[in-house]
Amino acid sequence: MSARIIDGKKVAEEIRAEIKARAASLAKEGLVPGLGVILVGEDPASLSYVSAKEKACAENGLKSFERRLPASATEAELLALVSEFNHDPSIHGILVQLPLPKHIDERKVIAAITPEKDVDGFTPINVGRMVLDEPCFLPCTPAGVVELIKRSGVKTDGARAVVVGRSNIVGKPLMNLLVRRSVNATVTVCHTGTKDLAVHCREADILVACAGKAGLISADMIKPGACVIDVGVNRVEDPGAKNGYRLKGDVDYEGALAVAGWITPVPGGVGPMTITMLLANTVEAAARHKAMQGAFA
């Protein structure tokens, strides 16, 4: 068997066409959706994510407002910037690129973002709304993963899903989205404390790897015909590559191809979907802003 490759770039392009049209229609009415991006420090991966997000904004009719702070910036300086963005009417969505330097309390900074502008879906208010199945901004990577699974025609109702990784950004929210009635999977979350990881993985009809460990999932850990979603983006040394490294997922891709029913490549799988969901949330935030203005006009 050779797995069907889930082309995240293609799916993302389809969705971005809809987002672009929505942004254009808002712009016609005098409202250009704006994303405020804050980057602290010079982490190379963060720099490249931020520039990809800004490029995507420009290509789809959104305006991005980038502010960079040095790695030595204080928590107070960062909080002041978040507050400035909270009050700026041309910014509808705010993204503080993570991780932050160790001396800054990430939780405090995230909690300072106005929930109505929290297009990452990271604030405690939005996380609570997500868990309660209330209208909210969903975190971009988990929302992108669910969208990829659905659009690939994978059966989720009653499926066994195993999520490998319990981060606040991916693993935990994904657990919540997969268990929703609209997806209806039975979910197991594995993490560094899990005994017999392979046994759990082999039970999975849908296996999502989001542990951040290159090649953690080998072919013998995959149930034949399973849908394998690889969220990992790990830099591994490669003297033959232009930058001296290449990107590798959490899954042994070559090995998995022969066993899985569906698989996402790295790069070109989940990555483009994350940015697409961010654009969608930002346009939605702008539309809600406009609706509120209308309500008070």
- Residue numbers of the site for ligand GUN (CB under 6 A)? 95-98, 120, 140-141, 169, 274
Q: Minimum distance from CB of 140 to ligand GUN (Å)?
A: 5
**Separation between Cα atoms, residue 172 and residue 165, nearest integer Å:** 8
175 vs 257, beta carbon nearer ligand GUN: 175
The pair of structure tokens assigned to 111 is 């909690």
Residue at shortest CB range from ligand GUN: 98
CA 53 to chain centre: 12
Q: Minimum distance from CB of 40 to ligand GUN (Å)?
A: 11
Return the sign of the alpha-carbon dihedral for residues 132, 138, 141, 146: positive
Which residues are known to be catalytic?
53, 97, 120
47 vs 198, beta carbon nearer ligand GUN: 47
Determine the Cα angle at 295 with ends 293 and 297, to 5°.
Answer: 65
Q: Minimum distance from CB of 107 to ligand GUN (Å)?
A: 13
2 vs 48, beta carbon nearer ligand GUN: 48
Q: Minimum distance from CB of 28 to ligand GUN (Å)?
A: 30
DSSP label at 260? -
Q: Minimum distance from CB of 123 to ligand GUN (Å)?
A: 11
The H-or-E segment that residue 215 falls in is none
**Separation between Cα atoms, residue 190 and residue 196, nearest integer Å:** 10
110 vs 178, beta carbon nearer ligand GUN: 110
How far is the CA of 77 from the CAs of 7, 82, 109, 297, in angstroms?
A: 41, 9, 11, 35
104 vs 221, beta carbon nearer ligand GUN: 104
The backbone torsions φ and ψ at residue 171, rounded to the nearest 5 degrees and listed phi first, read -55, -55
Nearest to 62 by CA among 273, 270, 280: 280
